[in-house]
A and B are shown apart, each in its own frame.
Chain A
Amino acid sequence: MFSKGTKRKFSDGDDEMPDESLVSAKVASSYSLQRQSLLDMSLIKLQLCHMLVEPNLCRSVLIANTVRQIQEEMTHDGSWQVVESFSSAGQSPSDRLVATEVLCRSPTSGREQDGEHKLFSVISYDGCREEEVVADETLCSVSVGDPSSNICLSGGLGQRWERGELRGVMADECDEACEDSRLGPGEEDVDAEEECPTEEPKSVGQVFGTFEIKNGSPGPDSALEELFSDVDASYYDLDTMLTGMQSSPKMGPYDLLDSLAPSHAPPSIAPSSNCRSDLNELDHIMEIIVGS
């Protein structure tokens, strides 16, 4: 079930992962290893909602709570220190590596593009961090005093996790307003290109900058909502994930309206906001933005 293919003994946790390259030398304790693998497992579980029947909400909520718990602990531990993770070429999934790369590239590019661009000021790291950190970030409720900071980048990066799986899932038309508050879609769209790793930092920053402008000023504590809600492509959108929407093009009115409520535009667009990040829509918007 665990996609890494790691052989797990019953009393797991004591064994080190075969692909040790994942773990930085600084994060050496087996507890951190265990915790990380638990986090990985949980995130994968949340992703696997590509089924015809709605997934079990109780199970999803419990897994999501576990993920929150882990990331809270990792925040308190300060386990998000800089780690030289992305020298690790042999990682699986490679998405993480990509995410890390982009994350590392963005600070310079982002700031070049937009002075107010605070993508990484939110996460007070210095550039590169290991992919686990990226994953954690997306779940971390970073409370940003600066309303212009936008952590959708991390949200989007987190999306890279299941980028491959999520591709092709979204087909709906999304209201432009939906995407305003989501950098995620844009980011994801960027990620969706196969050549992610080789993407121009400039364009990435462009995307974020542009989206940020469109986004207006999300509230300081809307970061978490944004991270969560922009991923209809990602399980981070708890709403869609919990209600199993991500496998379906259309979302039910109840859940979408609720989840979109805090960070979205006025109710007048509510009906169309029923369709979340739609890759096609994102592509379209991206073309407009990047192409211009």
Chain B
Amino acid sequence: MGEDGESPKINHSFLRDYVTEADVISTVEFNQTGDLLATGDKGGRVVIFQRETESKGDSEELAESGEYNVYSTFQSHEPDFDYLKSLEIEEKINRIRWLPQQNAAHFLLSTNDKTIKLWKVSERDKRPEGYNLKDEEGRLKDISTVTSLQVPVLKPTDLMVEVRPRRIFANGHTYHINSISVNSDGETYLSADDLRINMWHLAITDRSFNIVDIKPANMEDLTEVITAAEFHPQHCHLFVYSSSKGTLRLCDMRASALCDKHSKIFEEPEDPGGKSFFSEIISSVSDVKFSHSGRYLLTRDYLTVKVWDLNMEKGPVETYQVHEYLRSKLCSLYENDCIFDKFECVWNSSDSVIMTGAYNSFFRMFDRETGRGVTLEAWRESSKPRAVLRTRRVYTGGRRRRGDVGVDSLDFTKKILHMAWHPAENIIAIAATNNLYIFQDRVNPEAQ
């Protein structure tokens, strides 16, 4: 996907259109096949979308008609209260992670600041009919009316999606959970808060192993926090966590039980010329993602996305400017707290394209092969269903083209923080405040 010309065509559906604060989407995640898409919001709800499959003639044509429709909605977390600290615990869903599917049911982990829950999503489309002792409404029959025996049969009914909590992993974290990641072994997962990372077994809720603890003995010495963590996609003993100082630490759980000592630390040396009071803040990594291949890491800090090679610790192999024009505005962005916004970043399925969000409902895609980036907009007024998503530009000097947006006109309240890329195809889900946009690339539906 280069600039202009090859913008993906859109099939965009407005799946949520609320305006209340509780409906602000806080996380988006495809499952491993991409057929299911889960979103979590600030109100603690999870909405699962399912891709419709439609048969066209003898074969299923997913590319043309694979729209996502609501599959199930449930309340995952409720607001809570920490009595010890006299503080509320938000019900906002910070992360959702799907488990690899093992049977007909789907499992996902959802977490708020303190508690992780494992949900089972199962379908029921048959029900037994013809009980001997109960009638259709379930009332007990009068025995004297039963004259013969019948065998209950399963009859198809309307599809019912049941979601039940299967495990609740509570009291594992003192600080706010920012990440969860399912291990490739399919049995364990990690949860990371600001200062600690715990490893859980999916079947055990009353115990977790603390594998990283960066809390200083004296809280006043605290200068660095954990911002994100993820397991390696193939190696079940490796995980990475990022910090507010812009470092990445790769840890090997085989080395010791407590992985405070990293196996590798990835850090870019500071540019002495560009040092300012905001240098540290903008170097804070807001998201880290392993590539599907497991060879690279993708990180997002305030102004850039960087690709790191696991074999090279001294610096990223690629750096892409997301919105460099904001560098001169850092003081104002600090004042209005925008500088602390945590943007996510994602790989496409073939690790050839990376994507991240920005302000003004813009999001950016970078083609790693050409090194070029494109700015797109998730805003309903500028696009109609099945319209081509046109590229946008922020005017930073030079010749101004029609449609360019000036830096001072950017709407900093419209931030694209959360997004997901389909695991196999060029379908992306973008959360824009309380709206969810799903874009599909019709030109190149399959990843190159």
Using a CB–CB cutoff of 8 Å, the interface residues on chain A facing chain B are 1-2, 8, 10-13, 34-35, 38, 41, 45, 52-54, 56-59, 61-62, 64-66, 68-70, 224-225, 228-229, 237-239, 242-245, 247-255, 258-259, 261-262
Say whether, besides A54-B87, A62-B281, A249-B86, A12 and B331 are in contact (CB < 8 Å).
yes
Say whether, besides A1-B335, A62-B284, A62-B340, A251 and B85 are in contact (CB < 8 Å).
yes
Q: Kindly state the separation between the CA atoms of A5 and B144 in the bound complex, as whole angstroms.
A: 85
Report A41 CB to chain B, min CB distance, Å: 6
The answer on a CB contact under 8 Å between B86 and A65 is no
The answer on a CB contact under 8 Å between B86 and A248 is yes
The answer on a CB contact under 8 Å between B220 and A229 is yes
Report A85 CB to chain B, min CB distance, Å: 22
CB contact between B218 and one of A56, A59, A70, A225 (< 8 Å): that residue: A225
Q: Kindly state the separation between the CA atoms of A68 and B174 in the bound complex, as whole angstroms.
A: 25
Report A160 CB to chain B, min CB distance, Å: 20
Q: How many A-B residue pairs have CB under 8 A?
A: 112
The answer on a CB contact under 8 Å between B225 and A58 is yes
Whether B321 sits at the interface, judged by CB under 8 Å, is: no
Whether B145 sits at the interface, judged by CB under 8 Å, is: no
Q: Which 6 A-B pairs have the closest CB atoms?
A: A248-B86, A239-B219, A57-B194, A228-B220, A259-B219, A52-B88
Whether B222 sits at the interface, judged by CB under 8 Å, is: yes
The answer on a CB contact under 8 Å between B176 and A54 is yes
The answer on a CB contact under 8 Å between A238 and B219 is yes
Say whether, besides A10-B329, A66-B281, A258-B218, A58 and B340 are in contact (CB < 8 Å).
yes
Say whether, besides A66-B277, A249-B86, A252-B85, A38 and B194 are in contact (CB < 8 Å).
no
A245 cross-chain contacts in B, Cβ below 8 A: 85
The answer on a CB contact under 8 Å between B277 and A61 is no
CB contact between A56 and one of B176, B215, B336 (< 8 Å): that residue: B176
The answer on a CB contact under 8 Å between B408 and A248 is no
Whether B17 sits at the interface, judged by CB under 8 Å, is: no
The chain B residue sitting closest to A2, CB to CB, is: B335
Q: Can you sample 19 A-B contacts with CB below 8 Å?
A: A13-B331, A34-B331, A38-B277, A38-B334, A53-B89, A57-B176, A57-B194, A58-B225, A58-B284, A61-B222, A61-B244, A238-B219, A238-B222, A250-B84, A252-B174, A255-B219, A258-B215, A258-B218, A261-B218
Q: Kindly state the separation between the CA atoms of A1 and B336 in the bound complex, as whole angstroms.
A: 7
Say whether, besides A254-B174, A259-B219, A62 and B244 are in contact (CB < 8 Å).
yes
The chain B residue sitting closest to A73, CB to CB, is: B277
Q: Kindly state the separation between the CA atoms of A229 and B222 in the bound complex, as whole angstroms.
A: 13
Q: Kindly state the separation between the CA atoms of A66 and B334 in the bound complex, as whole angstroms.
A: 11
Known pairs A62-B281, A70-B277, A261-B217. 5 more at Cβ < 8 A?
A12-B332, A57-B194, A62-B280, A238-B219, A242-B222
CB contact between A61 and one of B85, B87, B224 (< 8 Å): that residue: B224
Query: Which of A11, A58, A250, A261 has the most chain B CB atoms inside 10 A of its CB?
Result: A58
Whether B175 sits at the interface, judged by CB under 8 Å, is: yes
What's the interface size class on B, roughly?
35 or more
Whether B223 sits at the interface, judged by CB under 8 Å, is: yes
Whether B278 sits at the interface, judged by CB under 8 Å, is: yes
Query: Which of B87, B90, B176, B284 has the most chain A CB atoms inside 10 A of its CB?
Result: B87
Whether B110 sits at the interface, judged by CB under 8 Å, is: no
Say whether, besides A66-B278, A238-B219, A57 and B84 are in contact (CB < 8 Å).
no
Q: Kindly state the separation between the CA atoms of A11 and B325 in the bound complex, as whole angstroms.
A: 12
Using a CB–CB cutoff of 8 Å, the interface residues on chain B facing chain A are 84-90, 113, 174-176, 194-195, 215-220, 222-225, 227, 244, 277-278, 280-281, 284, 328-329, 331-332, 334-337, 340, 408
The chain B residue sitting closest to A249, CB to CB, is: B86
The chain B residue sitting closest to A12, CB to CB, is: B331
Q: Kindly state the separation between the CA atoms of A2 and B337 in the bound complex, as whole angstroms.
A: 11
A69 cross-chain contacts in B, Cβ below 8 A: 277, 280
Main secondary structure of the interface of A (DSSP, over half): helix
The answer on a CB contact under 8 Å between B194 and A253 is no
The answer on a CB contact under 8 Å between B244 and A225 is no
B217 cross-chain contacts in A, Cβ below 8 A: 258, 261
Report A253 CB to chain B, min CB distance, Å: 7
Say whether, besides A10-B329, A41-B334, A52 and B87 are in contact (CB < 8 Å).
yes
A70 cross-chain contacts in B, Cβ below 8 A: 277
The answer on a CB contact under 8 Å between B225 and A61 is yes
CB contact between A8 and one of B84, B222, B277, B332 (< 8 Å): that residue: B332
Q: Kindly state the separation between the CA atoms of A261 and B86 in the bound complex, as whole angstroms.
A: 23
B335 cross-chain contacts in A, Cβ below 8 A: 1-2, 8, 41
Report A78 CB to chain B, min CB distance, Å: 18
The answer on a CB contact under 8 Å between A225 and B220 is yes
The answer on a CB contact under 8 Å between B277 and A58 is no
Q: Kindly state the separation between the CA atoms of A57 and B219 in the bound complex, as whole angstroms.
A: 11
The chain B residue sitting closest to A240, CB to CB, is: B219
Q: Kindly state the separation between the CA atoms of A211 and B281 in the bound complex, as whole angstroms.
A: 38
B280 cross-chain contacts in A, Cβ below 8 A: 62, 65-66, 69
Report B27 CB to chain A, min CB distance, Å: 16
B224 cross-chain contacts in A, Cβ below 8 A: 61
The chain B residue sitting closest to A69, CB to CB, is: B277
A1 cross-chain contacts in B, Cβ below 8 A: 335-337
Report B37 CB to chain A, min CB distance, Å: 27
The answer on a CB contact under 8 Å between B278 and A58 is no
The chain A residue sitting closest to B340, CB to CB, is: A59
Q: Kindly state the separation between the CA atoms of A34 and B193 in the bound complex, as whole angstroms.
A: 34
Q: Kindly state the separation between the CA atoms of A244 and B174 in the bound complex, as whole angstroms.
A: 13
Query: Which of A35, A237, A250, A258 has the most chain B CB atoms inside 10 A of its CB?
Result: A258
Q: Kindly state the separation between the CA atoms of A45 and B331 in the bound complex, as whole angstroms.
A: 13
Query: Which of B217, B219, B222, B335 has the most chain A CB atoms inside 10 A of its CB?
Result: B219
Q: Kindly state the separation between the CA atoms of A285 and B176 in the bound complex, as whole angstroms.
A: 37
B87 cross-chain contacts in A, Cβ below 8 A: 52-54, 244, 247-248
The answer on a CB contact under 8 Å between A58 and B194 is yes
Say whether, besides A10-B408, A38-B331, A69-B280, A262 and B85 are in contact (CB < 8 Å).
no
The answer on a CB contact under 8 Å between A258 and B225 is no
Q: Kindly state the separation between the CA atoms of A1 and B195 in the bound complex, as whole angstroms.
A: 29
The answer on a CB contact under 8 Å between A262 and B244 is no
The answer on a CB contact under 8 Å between A35 and B277 is yes
The answer on a CB contact under 8 Å between A61 and B223 is yes
A59 cross-chain contacts in B, Cβ below 8 A: 337, 340
Q: Kindly state the separation between the CA atoms of A290 and B398 in the bound complex, as whole angstroms.
A: 70
Q: Kindly state the separation between the CA atoms of A248 and B88 in the bound complex, as whole angstroms.
A: 11
Q: Kindly state the separation between the CA atoms of A65 and B246 in the bound complex, as whole angstroms.
A: 14
Report A189 CB to chain B, min CB distance, Å: 22
Q: Kindly state the separation between the CA atoms of A64 and B277 in the bound complex, as whole angstroms.
A: 12
CB contact between B227 and one of A35, A58, A254, A261 (< 8 Å): that residue: A58
Q: Kindly state the separation between the CA atoms of A123 and B84 in the bound complex, as whole angstroms.
A: 39
A255 cross-chain contacts in B, Cβ below 8 A: 219
The answer on a CB contact under 8 Å between A259 and B218 is yes
